[in-house]
Amino acid sequence: MNRLTRFLEEKFMPVAARVGEQRHLQAIRDGIVMTIPLVIIGSLFLILAYLPIPGYEFFMEGLFGGNWQTNLLYPVGATFDLLAIFVAFGIAYRLAERYKIDPLSTSAISIAGFLLVTPYKISFTPEGMDQVFDVAGIPLALTGSKGMFVAIIVAIVSTEIYRLFVKKNIVIKMPDGVPPAVAKSFASLIPGFAVVLTLWLIRLLLQVTPFGDMHNIVGEILGKPLSLLGGSLIGAIIAVIIAQMLWVSGIHGQALVWGIMSPVWLSLVDENRLAYSAGNEIPNVVNTQFMDIFYSVGGSGTTLGLALLLFFRSQSKQMKQLGKLAIGPGLFNINEPIIFGMPMIMNPIMMIPFILVPVVVVTVSYFAMDLGIVAKTAGIMVPWTTPAPIGGFLATGGKISGAALQLFNVILSAALYYPFFKIWDNQKRKEEGNLDVVNESTGKSKTA
């Protein structure tokens, strides 16, 4: 155990801290976080369009007409189908903030760059014909989750080019009397031209290759391998272990790991959303909602079961008080009171279940969905603070099995935490007893 603690302190923690402070990863994480409210809003309309209530469709059709479902899905398209554009804006904005350059101009140029490398052609075959026709237009698939990796690359590249020109002072400077907004617009002219020129040349070069465009080459080289790994049970387990090890080292594990994996998991959410909307079989088990709703019951480490143990089963005064403080936030998947109050950080006893319990929960949840015992998540982005079992019910498209799995995970985590909880609780009670003896011998208050 001392060897593990020494490894975390001396080897793992310094590397993790450097990775967590890397500005590009921070910008990716924060830029994607900017899109979450929009995706949740779109998900609310998706839920309303497919509420699993008998007679609901006939009721809505009688109330709003035959096109009620199509009309309800407009906001879904305006959020999910433009996800890559929001990401291109958000990442460039956050990275520009860190470089202390004009974030608004940088973000606008990033969006222009993303649209520049995106094919402006839609191919379709009219019904009853064999001939394929091409019309002008950007495919929604490429402005949605499928184009997210390209959006990330373009946002970073365009911001770095912009920063280079600003750093070298290759900008148009206006006289002091010119309004700041106008001055900033002219200052972005040369850096913006350099960004557009660079990405335009890249597009022309890729057109003469077998790939054809940036979306194809990024999808083949980066997107497919990451999706295969990130969408697998092994990928989920690796992500969980790294996140938990970061937590016990004192670093916000989910913020770092989720920041890296979000582009993969969000794209898998959208694949599920499209399949669910079309009435097809849902393809993916692992995605953002799987990790947020079924792994994070009670917070990182699946700690709602532990919060219940602290509240109902603690014998020591300290742990009993912690249980009272932790149970409320834990119901909404916030567990900082447990992580810092127990604590979990560098705790030689509790760090073992804190790392292993989520691995068991993720594995059980994966096979429950993969084998068809529990419904897969339906591409509906439910806020991670949604209490169990409501979160599981909504994330699976209104399926009771999703709610049941969340409740089962709470019971399972409580059972797995229990032996370690008892050791820690007994240790704290013994410390309090020793303190009472010391206080009695000195004539001071017995209060621990």
Which range has highest mean pLDDT (40-44, 235-239, 256-260)? 235-239
pLDDT reading at 10 higher than 50: yes
What are the pLDDT digits (tens) for 361-381? 999 999 999 999 999 999 988
- Domain spans of the chain? 81-125+133-230, 250-438
How confident is the model over 417-443, as a mean pLDDT? 78
pLDDT band at 107 (very low <50, low <70, confident <90, very high): very high
pLDDT at 8: 60
Report whether 114 contacts 151 (CB < 8 A): yes
pLDDT at 286: 95
| Token pair in block for residue 155 | 């946002």
Distance linking the first and last C-alpha atoms of the chain: 29
pLDDT band at 446 (very low <50, low <70, confident <90, very high): very low
pLDDT reading at 223 higher than 90: no
pLDDT at 281: 93
Can you give the length of the chain in residues?
448
pLDDT at 11: 64
pLDDT band at 436 (very low <50, low <70, confident <90, very high): low
What whole-number percentage of the chain has pLDDT above 90? Answer: 48
pLDDT reading at 437 higher than 60: no
How confident is the model over 59-78, as a mean pLDDT? 88
Nearest 5°: the CA angle 293, 391, 344 is 45
Which range has highest mean pLDDT (21-30, 146-155, 364-373)? 364-373
pLDDT at 447: 44
pLDDT band at 3 (very low <50, low <70, confident <90, very high): low
pLDDT band at 162 (very low <50, low <70, confident <90, very high): very high
- What pTM, to 2 d.p., does this model score? 0.78
How confident is the model over 170-188, as a mean pLDDT? 85
Identify which has the larger pLDDT, 17 or 402.
402
Spatial separation of the C-alpha atoms in residues 103 and 166, rounded to whole Å = 12
pLDDT at 283: 94
pLDDT reading at 415 higher than 90: yes
pLDDT band at 433 (very low <50, low <70, confident <90, very high): confident
Rounded mean pLDDT of the chain?
87
pLDDT at 180: 82
What are the pLDDT digits (tens) for 293-312? 999 899 989 999 999 999 99
pLDDT at 238: 93
Three-state SS string across 279-305, please?
A: CCCCCCCCCHHHHHHHHCCCCCCCCHH
How confident is the model over 112-118, as a mean pLDDT? 95
pLDDT reading at 87 higher than 90: yes
Identify which has the larger pLDDT, 359 or 246.
359
How confident is the model over 332-342, as a mean pLDDT? 89
Specify which residues 122 forms β-bridges with.
Answer: 135
How confident is the model over 427-443, as a mean pLDDT? 69
What are the pLDDT digits (tens) for 260-295? 788 889 889 999 999 998 889 999 999 999 999 999
pLDDT reading at 129 higher than 80: no
pLDDT at 182: 83
